[in-house]
Structure 1
């Protein structure tokens, strides 16, 4: 991707109402069997077309084939019992009923590879595929087997690496690992979280990214953000070590957040996915607001390393709001592109 300021999304996009209930996380499917497979493919085609129309350069599946960015991957692994549920605290923020690890975890077959092949067959644009990161996976489970967050994270890292290599072979250009847990468990991130992430991307030749945000625009997350004060400096604790890591690209949440832009300086040399779209608001940004965020970021990241992006996934938003935000992202990036090229 040689285009200056290539745009992409951080992850999920809203599902059509005929596939799942809109504006809801973990929404059950409305179709079954062959109809569900066809419905997922249709939804992926629609979301791909909307990204292209909005001027999104690096496209994704919008997670149309998944109910949730973490649990859908875990569902396909052995060693996890979805019937044996326990209530755990997710990212020290809210309680959720989650499945239990009851034995050795393993990936017996590919999880997203066929979906990635389908996406690859539908477009010539660069494609990005998101996987849950090891630390965020362990934070979404009750571990009744390993009794060690670190040991389970290393096991998941090995499994993720298997999946990532097959996604690369299927034609994926960028593999992104979602690690919102990196913004919470700072000591563990530096002790072993980044190391397990590096294990997950070991041996990959495609571009790799880690997405670190403050979460979906759901009440538990927005309530937490309200307690963080006028400056959000969480990235400061993990960026120095991430700068030294093997990951190519790092995302951060910038639009309507209280993240000081100068923290980007801590990852100088990496490609930076700058979140220029707020996913916790139904207000659609103007292209000029997006452009202004990107201009501020350019004080701390070279233009050839800036990737305009969304703060996080947009699954909880309405399709019309998400569509407007995608269009603003594409148009805002184009404004700054023209400024940089002198046109």
Structure 2
């Protein structure tokens, strides 16, 4: 039976403190060798259990086996040198030391498929799996080979398509591409970014999603948000073309953000994953606050197409806070679900 307002998370969930330092991006592993392999498997099970206990309907791996949502995928590709690093500005916001593209990029073997199979064996719930989108991948690298953002994005799109097809075959129900870069490079998004994303989903039969947010609750992002004015209208630049695309679900940030809710009207007809949990604060939303965000969204998206979610990944939060927020998400969705069912 199809659930009305199925809840999910946008991406990462906090890792247990025995595998990596909590509340920290890029946190190094505390284990190595076989202990790390076992630890990742244990973390995956624990993360699934946390989601099920919190009442999350569409579960994920919580990115428990990866250090970072972009670079862990890139580490498995040929053509990228992690020793040869350059300083680049990521999403026009902050500088970072990143690996270099030194030759033709390719994927010698699948990256996440074994973990996906493992998660599929552990649950019969629908699973959503996140991959970095092509534009966000190129924004996290120094390209000394193709010397063209568009060409490199196209190559990554082909690689992502190979991975996505294997994830689908492993039993994944929704494949999500994370594209925070879509909130920054509007001309490129419309010129070739959405086309590259469509290349990445080519031939898939499972549902596909694109997640476009304003980033983790780290200082570089919160500082940037302060410069965006009273209304955050970035989505307005890209939603019309996304509405015409083959992507099934648009995932966006709504809770405590200055995104005008009526912008969702621009993707009318698509399923919408509405971020109803703020990941940039330790304050736990009340179920009623979550319900209020969802009610506002329902003015612009049909109930059967609304998927309550979190704004972004939750890796910078403690497990305790993240779990409490997930419980609030489920409880808030339940309030609105009951309201809708009682109207029928």
Name the TM-score class by shorter chain. over 0.9
| Structure-2 residue corresponding to 1:40 | 40
* 4+ runs deviating over 3 angstroms: none
Aligned equivalents of 2:288, 2:98: Cα separation in 1 = 42
1:171 partnered with 2:171: yes
Aligned equivalents of 2:338, 2:40: Cα separation in 1 = 37
Please give the residue correspondences for 1:70-219 in structure 2 after superposition, counting only pairs within 5 Å.
70-219=70-219
Aligned equivalents of 1:176, 1:151: Cα separation in 2 = 22
Q: How far is 1:290 from its partner?
A: 0.3
Q: Which runs of 5+ in 1 are unaligned?
A: none
Q: What's the CA shift string for 1:307-332, capped at 9, x where partnerless?
A: 00000000000111101100000110
| Structure-1 residue corresponding to 2:342 | 342
| Structure-1 residue corresponding to 2:55 | 55
The DSSP-based 3-state class of the residue aligned with 2:60 is coil
The DSSP-based 3-state class of the residue aligned with 1:126 is coil
The DSSP-based 3-state class of the residue aligned with 1:100 is strand
Q: How far is 1:2 from its partner?
A: 1.2
Q: Which runs of 5+ in 2 are unaligned?
A: none
- The CA RMSD over aligned residues, in Å, is 0.7
| Structure-2 residue corresponding to 1:260 | 260
Q: How far is 1:38 from its partner?
A: 0.6
1:27 partnered with 2:43: no
The DSSP-based 3-state class of the residue aligned with 2:62 is coil
Aligned equivalents of 2:50, 2:70: Cα separation in 1 = 24
Aligned equivalents of 2:226, 2:119: Cα separation in 1 = 38
Aligned equivalents of 1:277, 1:126: Cα separation in 2 = 21
| Structure-2 residue corresponding to 1:332 | 332
Q: What's the CA shift string for 1:212-270, capped at 9, x where partnerless?
A: 00000000000000110110000000000000000000011000000000000000000
Aligned equivalents of 1:333, 1:53: Cα separation in 2 = 15
| Structure-2 residue corresponding to 1:228 | 228
Aligned equivalents of 1:149, 1:225: Cα separation in 2 = 25
Q: How far is 1:93 from its partner?
A: 0.3
Aligned equivalents of 1:292, 1:74: Cα separation in 2 = 39
Aligned equivalents of 1:46, 1:286: Cα separation in 2 = 25
Aligned equivalents of 2:171, 2:32: Cα separation in 1 = 28
Aligned equivalents of 1:241, 1:149: Cα separation in 2 = 20
Aligned equivalents of 1:257, 1:2: Cα separation in 2 = 30
Aligned equivalents of 1:280, 1:295: Cα separation in 2 = 22
Aligned equivalents of 2:245, 2:36: Cα separation in 1 = 40
The DSSP-based 3-state class of the residue aligned with 1:311 is coil
Q: What's the CA shift string for 1:257-286, capped at 9, x where partnerless?
A: 000000000000000000000000010100
1:11 partnered with 2:11: yes
1:280 partnered with 2:280: yes
Aligned equivalents of 1:184, 1:303: Cα separation in 2 = 30
Q: What's the CA shift string for 1:188-235, capped at 9, x where partnerless?
A: 000000000000000000000000000000000000001101100000
**TM-score for the superposition, normalised by structure 1:** 0.99
